[in-house]
A = this chain, B = another copy of it.
Amino acid sequence: MNIKIENIFPCLQWLKGYQYSHFTSDLIAAVIVTIMLIPQSLAYALLAGAPPQLGLYASILPLMVYAIFGTSRTLSVGPVAIASLMTAAAIQNLGIENEIDYINAAIMLAFLSGMFLVLMGFLKLGFLANFLSHPVVSGFITASGIIIGLSQFRHILGIQASGDNVLELVETIMLNIQSANTTTMMLGIPVLLFLFWSRSGLIRLLNYFSAPQKIIKLLPKVAPVLVVILTCTLAYQFNLEASGLAIVGEIPRGLPSLALPVFSNGNWIDFILPAIFISIIGYVESVSIGRTLGAKKRQKIDSNQELIGLGTANIASAYSGGIPVTGGIGRSIVNYNSGAETPLAGFMTAIGIALAAMTLTGLLSYLPTATLAATIIVAVSNLIDFSILKKTWNYSRSDFIAVLLTIVITLLSGVEIGVLSGVAISIFLHLYKTTKPHIAEVGQIAGTEHYRNINRHKVITYPEILTLRVDESLYFPNASYLEDQILQRIAEREELKHIVLMCPAINEIDISALEVLESINQYLIELDIGFHFSEVKGPVMDHLKKSDFLEHLNGKIFLSQHQAIEGILHSNYQNAKEKPGF
């Protein structure tokens, strides 16, 4: 094996050509992303049900580690909405409530996710993530976005509500809505409306007043920070906590100590499955955004090295006491648009967050959770996108069914069952389609050597020869279907003397299908009907040659369909019964 040091440390590739101009661009992007990340880190820790500092810790070391091991130049790694939601769901499912246990559980999930991703990377199993098809992932993200958004309304209203799925959330919100806290709502609802408005109405307004484009572009990014500063000040100044406003509360000042907590009881086994879910969903989301951004600058993402990059980032998060991390969509786009050239921007962002953890925690302790909840709701509203339903409906009903079921099941049963169902449904629908493959009877297009479907083209056929093109590999789920189809057509055509199986679309004949072909051949021998094959692929032929099928075959193997028809018509073959030749 040829291992290059640059493949292990992809940062060496961009460090070699690093220039001063890159540094300026990276620094500007880092400052913007840092400002954006401070409230987001706290918010996603809240979403994960963990103390706010775990979100900050997850935004320091993991970014540095990803800058070393990751292959995307502009991906911004840190706590993200869906991974945080899944973290909360997993810990609640395990019935953990005590705060220390909860923190340890969140860290454990980060650690196990990281180990799993690194393992996948070493085994080069990145392709497994492909089983999460893109429509399923889109549907899953949309449904998760709705669940996350709904789950945050309790903070805007100042009520108790909980649940893994939409039904539970709506039910508990409805039950408790009467006890909504006025102070919280008076603050939360305007903040929420302002944040939404800053993305649309405000921009239109500024355009109307011909404000400089720089300000117009910057404002939506700065709006959450303005809101954080404003609401912190309000909460502090008017002691709103006394009127029932929930605030973040004391955040330990300074940097995390680097150590894994001691996982005393042996229940870490229970965390493996949730950790796998979190890491796979995070990985798929991350690689997808990484590829999209990479394509714009012709930078390639190595899907196996990404496993290592994200895996080590999660292990780093666990060592510094943080929650699971992955590449975030929103923040990677901001990073990219702010001009980040290399992962050094991520490295500098990490320094920015570290500085914040050392200096701003006093101020941030007055931050109302309603403000964070509003930030989350606005952020996840970008994830909700039903256009995939329309796109799949137009293109293919089976893709549509997969997406629709994924959305519905995720909304009704929560994220873990939702994503599992999405994969299972996609695989089932694919297999279902292959159980009853398209079998076309073909004939010759006059004047050519092309043989096409008799129902789609005007073709020449012969009553004594039936040519069937099977548009699917022959394997165990569909082997007996082929038998039924052939036997039925034989029963319908008495004058039949030859059957040709045209095989350009048969990519595999497994042993179940081989046994069926043997039984068909046996049957055709008794009926004195020839059984021929044309256009058999090389790899399929290699397999057939390993069995004794060809020795007993009541017909020939032809290189092309045209040769098959010519051969049968002009050789009085029906009386010949030769051994097949290759």
Contact = CB atoms under 8 A, between A and B. Distances in A.
A453 interface: yes
Per assembly, the copies of the chain total 2
A35 to B, nearest CB: 33
A134 B515 contact: yes
Contact of A399 (B133, B295, B435, B510): B510
Given A396-B510, A427-B431, A437-B507, 17 more contacts: A127-B435, A127-B477, A130-B477, A133-B511, A134-B476, A135-B511, A136-B476, A392-B511, A396-B511, A399-B510, A430-B476, A438-B539, A448-B560, A450-B559, A471-B537, A505-B505, A505-B507
Given A134-B512, A505-B507, A547 B477 contact: no
A479 interface: yes
A430 B478 CA distance: 13
A552 interface: no
A133 B427 contact: no
Given A399-B510, A510-B396, A476 B436 contact: no
Given A127-B436, A431-B427, A135 B512 contact: yes
Given A453-B538, A539-B438, A547-B394, A476 B131 contact: yes
- Say which size band chain A's interface belongs to: 35 or more
A479 B130 contact: yes
The 5 closest A-B pairs by CB, nearest first: A133-B476, A504-B504, A399-B511, A471-B507, A134-B512
B396 A543 contact: yes
Nearest to A538: B456
A449 interface: yes
A536 to B, nearest CB: 12
A484 to B, nearest CB: 9
17 contacts: A127-B435, A130-B479, A130-B480, A130-B481, A132-B476, A133-B511, A134-B511, A134-B515, A394-B546, A395-B543, A396-B546, A398-B510, A426-B476, A471-B507, A471-B539, A504-B535, A505-B537
Contacts of A204: none
Given A130-B480, A391-B511, A476-B131, A427 B427 contact: yes
Contacts of A102: none
Contacts of A440: 538
Nearest to A437: B507
A134 B504 CA distance: 25
Contacts of A476: 130-134, 136, 426, 430
Interface string A556-582: 000110000000000000000000000
A472 interface: yes
Nearest to A287: B480
A562 to B, nearest CB: 8
A475 interface: yes
A519 interface: yes
A386 interface: no
A523 interface: yes
Contacts of A431: 131, 427
Interface in A421-450: 426-427, 430-431, 433, 435-438, 440, 448-450
A250 interface: no
Contacts of A539: 438, 471
Contacts of A479: 130
A241 interface: no
Interface in A461-476: 471-473, 475-476
A508 interface: yes
Q: Which of A303, A435, A479, A508 has the most CB of B within 10 A?
A: A508
A408 interface: no
A514 interface: yes
A549 B499 CA distance: 37
A309 to B, nearest CB: 18
Contact of A395 (B396, B427, B481, B547): B547
A449 to B, nearest CB: 5
Contacts of A535: 504
Given A394-B547, A395-B511, A435 B130 contact: yes
Contacts of A507: 437-438, 471-472, 505
A448 to B, nearest CB: 8
